[in-house]
Amino acid sequence: MQQPVVRVGEWLVIPSVNQISRQGRQLTLEPRLIDLLVFFARHPDEVLSRDELIDNVWTRNVVTSHVVTQSVSELRKSLKDGDDSSPEYIVTVPKRGYKLTAPVMWCTEEGEELTSETPVTEIQPPVETPPVSVAANPAAAAAPPVVKPEKRKRLATFWVWCLFLLALGTCVALVAMSTLKSHPAVTKTRLLLNPRDIDIRLENGSSCNNWMSQRSYAVGLGSLVTTSLNTYSTFMVHDKTNYNVNEPSSSGKTLSIEFVNQRHYRAQQCFMSVQLVDNADGSSMLDKRYFITNGNQLTIQNDLMNSLSEALKQPWPEKMQEMLRQYQPLQSTSLSRFYQAHQFLMNGDVDSLGKASDILNDITKQSPEFTYAYAEKVLVDVLRHSQQPLDGTQLAAMYEEINRVENIPGMKDESIVYQIRTIDQLGKGNVNEAFEAINTGIDLEMSWLNYVLLGKVYEMKGANRQAADAYLTAFNLRPGENTLYWIENGVFQTSVTRVVPYLDNFLSSE
């Protein structure tokens, strides 16, 4: 029987195999994304609320509105397929929901369009045959005698047993044939790799004497790759540079960063090795070696991002290139020190935040054009105030810094401004303003920090289930001690056992 498929804009959607295709390009999506797209296709040009989507796609299976937001975002990225100029298939209707704007046409897998006039085969009732008169039809009188019901029943039973024994014999023969095969059975893995998922790992660099001094730079590169690709590409990246558990992963690719020891003219040289491996067949998609000096950190960053674009066959959209330009100070040493401060920020404790603030203060003096470093210093100071309240003079200076950052050209398009607003509004008890700010920040950037702050806002709203969902998303994007510390202590203390019991059980089972 033919299964209906649907054409949504340029894409042909085949639900039976979870695939969408156009112009020779074929993508396999997760079943939940296919179900979501099909439901949109059944209601074209209709505004569908998050609750409607939960009721009909997830059927209320322990799902929050945040999961809908994330799924719609992933579906949009798949439909764009890396083409920033591609039309928006699913638009957001503020305070109402989402709407599919692309034309929809249902058809069969062979491409035949289905219409309301398409005939449907129905089972017709048996037609009663009028009795035949013997007088009118003498041949009827010569018909064979009717078999008695008891005899028919015994005959039917006989044939049933015959068919049963034949089927049983066939099964026995097949089992015997399978056991006689000389070659061993092929062991198949139960783990299905997702080709659009990437793990980033930082390997132990014990073979190099000075690798720890360059570790923060490698961690910063991993963070930049994770946030930029999650926000602007069709890939889902998990930053595991702070995660030492080697459990089986479903990610189809792994980007590993390792500091290796090489001998050059009898001197030990420490190189940063970057490899992108396709886990499906173990092939190398990218293999680079970088020797880091005080003046080439920016060059290495640009080369790595360009190399990733080529290896993944994913041209970076203009918005992503604009974001990457925020991480390009005139002096490479400023970039290296920025990543050092950023790692202190990720640690999250008071001492680390103090060190981050001091480093960022020096960077803004050394590279005043590096406006993103100035914005991160304000973020650090707002976080410090949430843990150790500032006095009146310090507080006034902090708000002057906030106003200055918000007035920097182009900075209102950066998520960090809304992270600052969220923390500030939470400190003032303005939960609704904080909720609006962090949702804007998530629309601009998909990062672990944004989802931690979303969890804090949900906690303040008394929605612990939604808070747990946000915290789990943050931990999935960047698993490890840093994210766990932020969940437990960022802005205010959170009980993981009470709010996120699933995460607590997951970590205790390691």
**Under a CB-based contact definition with an 8 Å cutoff, are residues 419 and 431 in contact?**
no
Q: What is the pLDDT of residues 382-406, one digit of tens each?
A: 999 988 888 889 889 999 999 999 9
pLDDT attached to residue 156: 67
Could you please report the per-residue DSSP string of 497-510?
HHH-HHHHHHHHT-
Pairwise CA distance, residues 39 & 265, whole Å: 65
Pairwise CA distance, residues 439 & 26, whole Å: 32
pLDDT attached to residue 55: 82
pLDDT attached to residue 150: 59
**Under a CB-based contact definition with an 8 Å cutoff, are residues 41 and 8 in contact?**
yes
Q: What is the pLDDT of residues 247-286, one digit of tens each?
A: 778 899 999 999 887 665 444 567 889 999 999 889 999 9
- Rounded mean pLDDT, 219-234: 93
Answer whether residue 200 shows pLDDT above 90.
yes
Which residues lie below 8 Å from residue 65, measured CB to CB, with a gap of 6+? Answer: 50, 51, 54, 466
CA atoms within 13 A on the CB side of 152: 5
Domain 332-508: what homologous superfamily? Answer: Tetratricopeptide repeat domain (1.25.40.10)
Q: How many CB atoms lie within 10 A of CB 435?
A: 18
Answer whether residue 62 shows pLDDT above 70.
no
pLDDT attached to residue 367: 93
Answer whether residue 374 shows pLDDT above 50.
yes
386: tokens are 């949430």
Pairwise CA distance, residues 354 & 341, whole Å: 10
Least confident among 198-207, 335-344, 369-378, 430-439 = 198-207
Burial 248-269, CB ≥16 within 10 A → b, else e: ebebbbbbbbbbeeeeeeeeee
234 vs 344 pLDDT, higher one: 344
Answer whether residue 167 shows pLDDT above 50.
yes
- Rounded mean pLDDT, 413-442: 94
Answer whether residue 426 shows pLDDT above 80.
yes
93: tokens are 């209707």
- Rounded mean pLDDT, 166-190: 54
pLDDT attached to residue 457: 96
Q: What is the pLDDT of residues 41-51, one digit of tens each?
A: 999 889 998 88
163 vs 329 pLDDT, higher one: 329
CA dihedral 468, 413, 347, 481 (to 10 degrees): 40
Q: Where are the domains of the chain?
A: 5-107, 194-325, 332-508
Residue 200 DSSP SS3: strand
Pairwise CA distance, residues 61 & 16, whole Å: 22
pLDDT attached to residue 126: 39
Looking at domain 5-107, its CATH class is mainly alpha
Q: In the 3-class helix/strand/coil scheme, how is 251-306 assigned residue by residue?
A: EEEEEEEEEEEEEECCEEEEEEEEEEEECCCCEEEEEEEECCCCCCHHHHHHHHHH
pLDDT tier, 168 (very low <50, low <70, confident <90, very high otherwise): low
441 vs 66 pLDDT, higher one: 441
Looking at domain 194-325, its CATH class is alpha beta
Which residues lie below 8 Å from residue 220, measured CB to CB, with a gap of 6+? Answer: 338, 339, 340, 342, 343
Answer whether residue 86 shows pLDDT above 90.
no
* Percentage of the chain exceeding pLDDT 70: 80
- Rounded mean pLDDT, 161-183: 61
pLDDT attached to residue 182: 41
Phi, psi dihedral angles at 458 (to 5 degrees): -60, -40
